[in-house]
Amino acid sequence: MIDDANPRAAEPRPAQPTDDSVDRATEAVTEAVTGAMADAATAPALGRRELFVGGATLVAGAALAACGHREEPRPAPAPSPRPNAAAAAQLETKAKAQAAASESQPGVELVELTFADLQARMAAGSDTAKSLVAKYRQRIEALDRKGPMLRSVLELNPDADTIADQLDAERKAGKLRGPLHGIPILIKDNIDTGDKMTTTAGSLALEGSHAAKDAFVVARLRDAGAIILGKTNLSEWANFRGKASSSGWSGRGGQCRNPYALDRSPSGSSSGSGAAAAASLCAAAIGSETDGSIVSPSSCNGLVGIKPTVGLVSRAGVVPLSASQDTLGPMARTVTDAAQLLTVIAGADPADPVTTAPDKARPPAGHDYTKDLDPKALAGARLGVPRKGFFDIVRGVDDLMRTALADLKGAGAELIDPAELPAPPELGDAELEVLMFELHAYLDKYLAGRGPDAHVHSLAEAIAFNKQEAARELAIFGQEWFEQAQAKPGLTDKAYLKAREKCVQIARTQLLDKVMAEHKLDAFVAATNGTAWLIDPVNGDAGGGLNTSTLPAISGYPHVTLPAGQYRGLPVGLSFFGRPYSEGKLIGLAFAYEQITKHRRPPRFLPTAELG
């Protein structure tokens, strides 16, 4: 959606260079779109405000800004007529063949298994940690590198078998570290591991480069007995490199695909974490978010995603974008598994001072979020329902939301409807300004600390590298955001301080804090975003039409999403977001909703959405 009230939103896209070497996955997607989907309508391309569409930031700015000065957007037009009978039959045949093939893939017995299920198999001797590693590795080979070619996993851990052997020996000796003991987890490739794996943020500029030590979160996972199985593909540099980007594309990994419809975007920037967890290529995954990068791919891949309060989970050892908004969080198939992951990765870290800052709302050290899994949490809960900018935008999503609201009310929740969150247009501009300043400052600091095996040690060097390797790095989209960020001065600049103050004043004081206090809310509830959009390497992301991530992202407040159903076979998430450090409450609400609805469905690797 283009925001006509913002002249910059209508800026023309820069011409995109072409290259015959654009990766084969992207070509296959393009062929699928131009063939079977030739007569399907595609959304118009967005301009500047799409930069984080489906996974990092500001696409919501357009939707929210629309509430302030012009009429609420009309519903999306009806889809184009379905393909002719022959084309429809061909699609159906392909879909059935792909679904049948997926059922015969290796490790099918692991599909949809929870941490508890996997622990039961290991306890019974049906599996060991080492056999789980082998089976997930076989699934990655069959589904990620062959078959549907999801391209969700960039790299596998060569030490996984050795680690699994150690954990199996501990189990045999009667020593269990907890619910993650022997559980294979994938992590996003912007999270440092001090081992044989590389950390690259998906960029060829860091290809072959190793981090000196584990990120705080990785160390916590290892201590809890989790096996870091490998690293996932992502929108390169967390989708803040250039305009007209394609979520889930990186120079290292190519285009990641949505396992529910292979011609659709997995969203981003935690694209691979979303696709891999959804396809049971791991037990669960870790993603990161600046604005939408956990919750959007979780929604588009039918997962539970938790974007924690900034300050609950350390960012030390993570390729940075914004100190104001960056955080890490779980992406899992159930609320219980997500809660167990959050329990492990949350904690104070002196290397990230925001995690040690005094806050009376902060839970006590070692808080167990599984204690918040209350099936009756919705009874008596006061939930605010924002309407403007959240409804009447995406066809199919409104029906799902009406059902969700009825389910919430049926479970005893009190709906304050509407409880509007009318964000002004200048909020998106202020957020963009903050991100530009912070990217330059914090990425320079991070890259300066990388070893001599890194090709670049500053933002300026990364820009130069991309120009030198334009055929491989800039063939699909550019690096306008990098170049604009490079021009920004330090964090003492008045423009930065003013922009950050405006973000806090609007998102926290004028909106979330005020509306929650006025209505005595426990949380807000809304659709996380629209359905996954078609992958388009020519025009970039079209977006899902709406996005709920921006206000909690700018505020640094928690946000939980979980499946609310499907439209044409494409998952849609339901969001709960609220006050800082209210993760326990939000997890309880999400768990109660999950228990009464059970909307999670595994993907079938269909060639396209269900158009019939």
Residues designated catalytic? 188, 269, 293
Q: What is the DSSP string of 44-84?
A: PPP-GGGTTTTTSSSHHHHHHHHHHHSPPPPPPPPPPPPPP
233 within 8 A of 189, measured Cβ to Cβ: yes
269 within 8 A of 286, measured Cβ to Cβ: no
**CA gap 27, 537 in Å, rounded:** 9
3: which 2 tokens? 């925001």
User: Residues near 441 by Cβ (< 8 Å), separated by ≥ 6?
Assistant: 490, 491
**CA gap 235, 52 in Å, rounded:** 10
Q: For residue 290, what are the CA distances in angstroms to 5, 358, 383? A: 25, 23, 25
370: which 2 tokens? 């599984």
562: which 2 tokens? 């979980």
Distance from CA of residue 318 to its chain's centroid?
A: 15
346 within 8 A of 560, measured Cβ to Cβ: no
154 within 8 A of 235, measured Cβ to Cβ: no
Tell me the residue length of the chain.
Answer: 612
29 within 8 A of 148, measured Cβ to Cβ: no
522 within 8 A of 384, measured Cβ to Cβ: no
Backbone angles phi, psi at 423, to 5 degrees: -75, 135
Q: Of the candidates 98, 276, 284, which has an alpha carbon nearest to the alpha carbon of residue 184?
A: 284
Q: For residue 515, what are the CA distances in angstroms to 461, 506, 554? A: 45, 12, 16
Based on C-alpha coordinates, what's the Rg of the chain? 22
**CA gap 82, 21 in Å, rounded:** 33
Backbone angles phi, psi at 169, to 5 degrees: -65, -40
Half-sphere exposure in the Cβ direction for 193 (13 Å, CA): 28
Strands 382-384 and 327-332: unpaired
Distance from CA of residue 236 to its chain's centroid?
A: 13
**CA gap 180, 539 in Å, rounded:** 42
Residue type, position 535, single letter: I
608 within 8 A of 592, measured Cβ to Cβ: no
Tell me 197's DSSP state.
Answer: S
Strands 382-384 and 249-250: unpaired
